Amino acid sequence: MLGRLNHVAIAVPDLAAAVAVYRNTLGARVTEPQALPDHGVTVVFIELGNTKIELLEPLGADSTIAGFLVKNPAGGMHHVCYEVDDILATRDQLKAAGTRILGDGEPKIGAHGKPVLFLHPKDFQGTLVELEQV
């Protein structure tokens, strides 16, 4: 079912400051910011040889990331994203096993232009899991 680790997402209170740390301190290659209104975030990706780090900043006060930052003002790890071949088949298999799919259960288009779903953290040892169809 699971493919490779696509990215680890880190919520940040100030995207520009976080980008500067990764770019200037660590010498990382960082993508341009991308607003994702359907997800309530602005994102950048730090491109690594074997995966990516996604930095998330709230896009508006209603963003779930804004709520996360209230609890974690300095930011922190938000979710991990795994690749799957068929997101609908994976969703159906997970639902049949009792896994909770967040939202309405229908995939949305994510930052890479591919369908994504989020799985309830209580079903995965306290970790929010994103699935992305490859």
User: Token pair of 119, please?
Assistant: 């799985």
What CATH number is given to the structural domain containing 38?
3.10.180.10
At residue 76, the pLDDT reads 97
pLDDT at 93 over 90: yes
The answer to pTM > 0.85 is yes
Domain that holds residue 61: 5-133
Catalytic residue among 54, 83, 106, 130: 130
What is the 8-class DSSP label of residue 130?
Answer: E
Helix (H, G, I), strand (E, B) or coil at 75: coil
pLDDT at 124 over 90: yes
- CA–CA gap between residue 16 and residue 134 (Å, rounded): 29
Q: How many domains does the chain have?
A: 1
Within its chain, how far is the Cα of 88 from the centroid? 18
- The answer to whether 133 and 109 are in contact (CB under 8 A) is no
60 torsion bin: left (phi>0), alpha (psi -120 to 50), beta (else): left
- CA–CA gap between residue 101 and residue 88 (Å, rounded): 12
CA triple 68-110-134, angle to 5 deg: 125
Helix (H, G, I), strand (E, B) or coil at 98: coil
Q: Is 130 a catalytic residue?
A: yes
pLDDT tens-digit readout, 11-63: 999 999 999 999 999 999 999 999 999 899 999 999 999 999 999 999 988 89
- CA–CA gap between residue 20 and residue 3 (Å, rounded): 31
What pLDDT band is residue 1 in, cutting at 50, 70 and 90?
confident
- CA–CA gap between residue 72 and residue 29 (Å, rounded): 26
